[in-house]
Amino acid sequence: MNDMPTTDASPDDLIVIAGAGGFIGGHLTKYFQDRGFTRIRAVDKKPVPEWYQPVPGIERLSLDLSEPEHCRRACEGAAEVYNLAADMGGMGFIEHFRIECMRSILITTHMLEAAYRAGARRYFFSSSACAYNTEMQKDPDAPALKESDAYPAMCERGYGWEKLMSEMFCQEYWHERGMKTFIARFHAVYGPYGTWDGGREKVPAAFCRKVIEAIDEDTGRIEIWGDGTRERTFMYVDDCVRGIDRITHCDELVATPINLGSSELVSVDGLATMVEEIAGVQLERDYIEGPLGVGRRTRDNTMIKRVLGWEPDIPLREGMEKTYAWIEQQYADRKAGKRTIS
């Protein structure tokens, strides 16, 4: 199949991106602008000056999308709607703030209805690998997750259940009402212009910050939750936004959840070593108690390769070098009293 997305949207059609003030939403906004789309409505709960990646020349709205009237305003006149709005963070956040995570179901229900009433032709929802059955991921030798492995359902508490329920809402808006919906299960997205401090950051950003702090403070050591043996895959954000575009414009994937993630597996210790190598240091490690998540999480990319003829392919080392450089600059800016994302 052709590697490039096929779209029925023209550059003059209105694209709505919910969660555009955040990490992936900001990158997706810039991606569509770079592809020549001239009518983009970016929406986020945060005040516009606090958005992670300002993109000039677009319509920007600060709206709480858990409120139905705000969703109607956001979706008015939309040809395509991309819903990346959610209250979430890394494992430390989603294990301790499950109620906040589950409340994101309000965004899904109201945005779907608003998009449908607005006559949107396509609706994308950002799901998560946390929707998968956790019992299948406890073993260090757990197999790669296929799309069908979400059932029988036994999701991560809070965040995972919200994602699975939201997937079901999307599927029913296609089956009952005929609105084309598309669902990607993200697997650990990382990169610049994301949270890197404060408790919501994910492992790649956290390790970059910890190494930078250890160098700056001359401590010679970093802390790692657990014993460092748990394995994950991480997808660079540029691959993520390309995948969103391809998935949303493939009619074979209507109302069909699909994995969107890298196949490059690394242990927590291996990732820490990679960041140390990028920084040119070797640090001692203190293994401490903390939120751990499942034992091993990787995905089976058979479906995305078969349907799209493509899969995320940016090497982890390449993406981590870019991420480290960006966080290093953010850290220096914060020390200098400048405004930063975290």
Alpha carbons 47 and 203: distance in angstroms, whole number: 27
Whether residue 173 is contained in a domain is answered as: yes
Burial class of residue 243 (count of CB atoms within 10 Å of its CB; 0-12, 13-18, 19+): buried
In percent, how much of the chain has pLDDT > 90?
Answer: 71
pTM for this entry: 0.91
Structural domain boundaries enclosing 26: 15-190+235-260
Whether residue 69 is contained in a domain is answered as: yes
Give the residue, 34 or 132, on which the prediction is more confident: 34
Apex 213 CA angle, 209 and 219, nearest 5: 140
Whether residue 148 is contained in a domain is answered as: yes
Whether residue 269 is contained in a domain is answered as: no
Backbone torsion region of residue 316, taken as left when φ is above 0, otherwise alpha when ψ lies between -120 and 50, otherwise beta: alpha
Domain CATH for 169? 3.40.50.720
Whether residue 197 is contained in a domain is answered as: no
* Tokens coding 126: 């950002």
Whether residue 185 is contained in a domain is answered as: yes
Residue 180: per-residue pLDDT: 98
- DSSP secondary structure string, 233-252? E-EEHHHHHHHHHHHHT-GG
Backbone torsion region of residue 198, taken as left when φ is above 0, otherwise alpha when ψ lies between -120 and 50, otherwise beta: left
Alpha carbons 208 and 271: distance in angstroms, whole number: 10
pLDDT tens across 132-169, in order?
877 766 666 777 888 988 887 765 666 778 888 999 99
Residue 3: per-residue pLDDT: 44
Whether residue 26 is contained in a domain is answered as: yes
pLDDT tens across 279-322, in order?
999 999 999 876 655 555 677 899 999 999 999 999 999 999 99
Alpha carbons 160 and 174: distance in angstroms, whole number: 22
Whether residue 134 is contained in a domain is answered as: yes
* Tokens coding 201: 């950051």
82, 116, 123, 159: which one is catalytic? 159
pLDDT tens across 81-136, in order?
999 997 655 555 556 556 776 778 899 999 999 999 999 999 999 998 888 877 76
159 is catalytic: yes
Looking at the structure of the chain, the number of domains it has is: 1
Length of the chain: 342
